[in-house]
Chain A
Amino acid sequence: MATLLEMRGISKVFPGVRALDHVNLTVEAGEIHAICGENGAGKSTLMKVLSGVYAHGSYEGDIFYDGALLANRGIRDSEAKGIIIIHQELALVPLLSIAENLFLGNEVAAKGIINWPKAFQKTETLLKKVGLNEPPTTQVGKLGVGKQQLIEIAKALAKDVRLLILDEPTAALQENDSQKLLDLMLELKAQGVTQIIISHKLNEIGRVADRITIIRDGATVSTLAKSEISEERIIRDMVGRDMANRYPDRDSRPGEVLMEVSGWNVWHPEQQGRQMIRDAGFTVRKGEIVGIAGLMGAGRTELAMSIFGHAYGRDISGTVKMGGKVVDTSSVTKAIAAGLAYVTEDRKHLGLVLDEPIVKNITLANLAGVATRGVLSRGREQQVAEEYRRAMSIRTPSVFQKVVNLSGGNQQKVVLSKWLFADPQVLILDEPTRGIDVGAKFEIYTIMNELAAQGRGVVMISSEMPELLGMCDRIYVMNEGRIVGELSRAEASQERIMSLILKNDGKAEVA
């Protein structure tokens, strides 16, 4: 078989981060090549380099495609050569019809006037190829995610695709839709379309992939042929990095059970019949740091936000107990009153009022704490803000600084201060160290330890396994909306977490 694509020594640097470090990838013509790696390993960045999102010159290294050097100035260049990427978030216009979407920017037209009969005819041919039986005039938004995924593929076929890249194509699909998609991939392969699939689902990879490349921390670890693919090998290659001692020491003495969630079920807020959380349950003890591990889309944020004031999802059922008593957490106000706090992973959109100063952000969740009968005391507010500035060492010239001007780490400290001032018993921290530098991470870890030492319960959701292993007394592992395992500090290791996730990936299985 001839080599269709060769990426040699690709490096890509973002301010402060080396996202890709001399990555090599070779794809043979006509094969299905899988790329595996942890969240943030660099899979998506690599595909963006390939598809022209990052133009030639903004990265180091060379790409050879079909025997020639590839120098994309943009997506249009790579698409003209038949390299087409389908992103995890679909790029369809929901209010337009299937036909309109298929030829968007590529219309079947002469002199700007669309030839509808011809467009419809072409649409039907393409839809037949992907096995979708829908009239071309159907509005795309009325179709399910599975069918939309097929339309994306038909759209790629309309552009004479030679190399099709699928970024976690089944992440949002139900079991039978996933199977259909994998069948289609094999069919396209038979027709000679080379494909790259990014996935972490071992059963899928085993079914369709001819070879697999594993990426870790922005570098290629290994490329395995089908005969070499084994679960143990993949897991070892995915997580096998050194764990430096980057976590503060802690004397851990968990007390009695503080919070207990049981039988928690949540449905998707928009998509009918899609269950996001299935029968989840966990406990948090006094003075304990509990981790929740899982890959992107496992339902960790959905679990936390649905508990915290039903801020996510619909038809929520299950019980939350605080100190042995069932509490109502159906609104954020009630959840706060019950002693909960949720520190969001998306601090810019969900955590802070960016144009307001630090002082006003810190008191936002507990304005009553700086007011008498509804009248604010500016002085008390200022004192509170100064206290947290010192306690958290928020680096700023003044507490009247707008938070938009602070660094990520300092912004995170402001969000933490806001929730500490609300004096919760249990804090749920969602990716508390995302997007902040190493020094600030250590400070956040130290604060977490202090909170536990004060007798509070801390729940830490994180995609970085070393961080969970370094900080937590116990770790729950989530996958596909279920809690699929619980590991004590002694039992926990990256390999065990990964294998819990991967082994529970078969959707029929019940944990």
Chain B
Amino acid sequence: MAEQTAGAGGKGIGAHLGGHLRENGMILALVAIVIFFTVMVRVTQGVDFLSAQNITNLFLQNSYVIIMALGMLLVIVAGHIDLSVGSVVGFTGAVAAVLTVNMGWPVWAVVPTCLFVGLCIGAAQGYWVAYWRIPSFIVTLAGMLVFRGLTLWLLNGQNVGPFPRSFQSLSTGFIPDAFGVDRPNMTALALVALAAVAILWLGLRARARDQQFGITPEPMIVFTIRNFVITAALLFVGYKLASFRGLPNVVVVLSVLTVLYAFFTESTTTGRRIYALGGNEKAARLSGINTDRLVFLTFCNMGVLAALAGMIVAARLNSSTPKAGVGFELDVIAAVFIGGASMTGGSGKIIGVVVGALIMGVMNNGMSIMGIGIDYQQVIKGLVLLAAVIFDVYNKNK
């Protein structure tokens, strides 16, 4: 073991960065894009891109993409795809609207019902993919049409709204200040500070544990810079949010889900098995892994997350429309691939996907503020997706 530590320790920082180019590169790219838009927006429009209000908006606008990207990563890691999520967003939003607005159900009953509907949709699609081996592209393409149609039918082609305040708070609500100061929101500040400390502490603990087991840790300088960037960004965003209206509810949901999924994918046996299944399904099955059931479960999970996103979108628009969620599947899938997942399955990280979704979100937001037309925006987003994947493939073949 000593010999190995010495041997691997001989590698320089450059070699380490080369091996982790993707992870660290993603974070740098996001920072660069934010700086770019801050400058450009200031120069061209004379407004502050990083204003408290715009940061809040950024999260509210993109929360649904990030939430669904978490589930989509698992689907893609398992070697499949889900094209139906946009339609499922529309459909569950419509179910929520019909239950709440037309039938007067209370929020506490509507939310679990919608999540259950999402679970059933995911299960129905996963069943055909996992146990009948129907290609997921076909099954979910069918699902995309079916659930879009059902959304139209359920809403009679009309918008249904408005929602009661309690439902709207799913998306537009903020965590109230427990300390009563309100501006800045002390609860928000405290939570963000706590999160920053937790990130640092967990990072250091993991390093110490790695060293104890003789795993060569990444060079201290890389660790320090990365954590400095992350915690600084976190504290900055937290401060901005606190000085506006506090932490939006969706940001809390988002953060909790991100941590949960990161833990699930990296540290649980089930998570590991999904990666093995995507990497080599036959070898995984011959190692005693129930691959069919895992595929089924990833689709169930995707359905639940799509339902959650559907409710958040409906709550934000304060009405359910037949067009809600159109094209979302493309944003979500793009975020996962920009985040570094492999097309053939077996690789991809939660943190990469979140950063990938944020890159897409920042670009959407920044280009809109700059007044760039929707035509150019589509072209630019398409090229960014292509460039990110070309970068991956190039690195892999090198």
Contact assessment for B276 and A356 in the assembled complex, using a CB-CB cutoff below 8 Å: yes
Known: A311-B285, A332-B286. A379 touches B209 (CB 8 A): yes
Known: A374-B270, A418-B287. A353 touches B276 (CB 8 A): yes
Residues of A near B282 (CB, < 8 A) are 349-350
Contact assessment for B279 and A333 in the assembled complex, using a CB-CB cutoff below 8 Å: no
Chain B min CB distance to A400 (Å): 8
Residues of A near B289 (CB, < 8 A) are 332, 364
In the assembly, what is the distance between CA of A351 and CA of B279, in Å?
11
**A352 near B: Cβ within 8 Å?**
yes
Residues of A near B1 (CB, < 8 A) are 386
Contact assessment for B283 and A379 in the assembled complex, using a CB-CB cutoff below 8 Å: no
**B215 near A: Cβ within 8 Å?**
yes
B: number of interface residues (CB 8 Å) = 32
A349's partner among B4, B214, B280, B347 (CB-CB below 8 A) is: B280
Contact assessment for B288 and A352 in the assembled complex, using a CB-CB cutoff below 8 Å: no
Contact assessment for B7 and A397 in the assembled complex, using a CB-CB cutoff below 8 Å: yes
Known: A342-B286, A352-B283. A379 touches B4 (CB 8 A): no
Known: A379-B213, A398-B8. A364 touches B284 (CB 8 A): yes
Contact assessment for A349 and B283 in the assembled complex, using a CB-CB cutoff below 8 Å: yes
Interface string of B266-295 (1 = CB under 8 A from A): 011110110110011011111111100000
Chain A interface size band reads 35 or more
**A200 near B: Cβ within 8 Å?**
no
Known: A376-B272, A418-B287. A353 touches B209 (CB 8 A): no
Chain A min CB distance to B25 (Å): 19
**B340 near A: Cβ within 8 Å?**
no
Known: A349-B280, A379-B212, A383-B213. A371 touches B285 (CB 8 A): no
In the assembly, what is the distance between CA of A147 and CA of B212, in Å?
66
Interface string of B1-24 (1 = CB under 8 A from A): 100100110000000000000000
In the assembly, what is the distance between CA of A308 and CA of B285, in Å?
11
**A215 near B: Cβ within 8 Å?**
no
Residues 339-357 of A contacting B (Cβ, < 8 Å): 342, 344, 349-356
**B346 near A: Cβ within 8 Å?**
yes
Interface string of B338-369 (1 = CB under 8 A from A): 00000000110000000000000000000000
Residues of A near B279 (CB, < 8 A) are 353-356
A375's partner among B8, B212, B268 (CB-CB below 8 A) is: B268
Contact assessment for A374 and B286 in the assembled complex, using a CB-CB cutoff below 8 Å: no
In the assembly, what is the distance between CA of A44 and CA of B273, in Å?
40
Known: A376-B268, A398-B4. A351 touches B283 (CB 8 A): yes
In the assembly, what is the distance between CA of A311 and CA of B280, in Å?
15
Chain A min CB distance to B395 (Å): 13
**A162 near B: Cβ within 8 Å?**
no
Residues of A near B216 (CB, < 8 A) are 398
Contact assessment for A378 and B213 in the assembled complex, using a CB-CB cutoff below 8 Å: yes
Known: A356-B276, A378-B209, A397-B8. A364 touches B287 (CB 8 A): yes
Chain A min CB distance to B200 (Å): 19
Known: A333-B288, A378-B213, A397-B7. A367 touches B269 (CB 8 A): yes
**A196 near B: Cβ within 8 Å?**
no
**A474 near B: Cβ within 8 Å?**
no
B273's partner among A311, A344, A367, A379 (CB-CB below 8 A) is: A367
* Total inter-chain residue pairs, C-beta < 8 Å: 97
Chain A min CB distance to B261 (Å): 14
Residues of A near B268 (CB, < 8 A) are 371, 374-376
Residues of B near A364 (CB, < 8 A) are 272, 276, 283-284, 287, 289
Residues 303-359 of A contacting B (Cβ, < 8 Å): 308-309, 311, 331-333, 335-336, 342, 344, 349-356
> Which of chain B's residues has its CB closest to A371's CB?
B269
Chain A min CB distance to B348 (Å): 12
In the assembly, what is the distance between CA of A336 and CA of B288, in Å?
7
Contact assessment for A355 and B347 in the assembled complex, using a CB-CB cutoff below 8 Å: yes
In the assembly, what is the distance between CA of A352 and CA of B279, in Å?
9
Contact assessment for B280 and A352 in the assembled complex, using a CB-CB cutoff below 8 Å: yes
Contact assessment for B287 and A332 in the assembled complex, using a CB-CB cutoff below 8 Å: yes
> Which of chain A's residues has its CB closest to B8's CB?
A398
In the assembly, what is the distance between CA of A308 and CA of B212, in Å?
39
In the assembly, what is the distance between CA of A344 and CA of B280, in Å?
14
Contact assessment for B286 and A350 in the assembled complex, using a CB-CB cutoff below 8 Å: yes
In the assembly, what is the distance between CA of A400 and CA of B214, in Å?
12
Give 9 nearest A-B pairs by CB, closest first.
Answer: A353-B279, A367-B269, A379-B213, A365-B287, A333-B288, A353-B280, A332-B288, A364-B287, A336-B288
Residues of chain A whose beta carbon lies under 8 Å from any beta carbon of chain B = 308-309, 311, 331-333, 335-336, 342, 344, 349-356, 360, 364-365, 367-368, 371, 374-376, 378-379, 382-383, 386, 397-400, 418, 422
A351-B286, A356-B276, A399-B4 are known contacts; what are 20 more A-B pairs with Cβ within 8 Å? Answer: A342-B286, A351-B283, A352-B283, A354-B280, A355-B347, A356-B279, A360-B275, A364-B276, A364-B284, A364-B287, A367-B269, A367-B272, A374-B270, A378-B215, A378-B267, A379-B209, A379-B212, A386-B214, A397-B7, A398-B4
Q: List 12 A-B contacts (CB under 8 A).
A: A332-B288, A353-B276, A354-B280, A356-B275, A364-B272, A364-B287, A367-B272, A378-B215, A379-B210, A379-B212, A386-B1, A400-B215
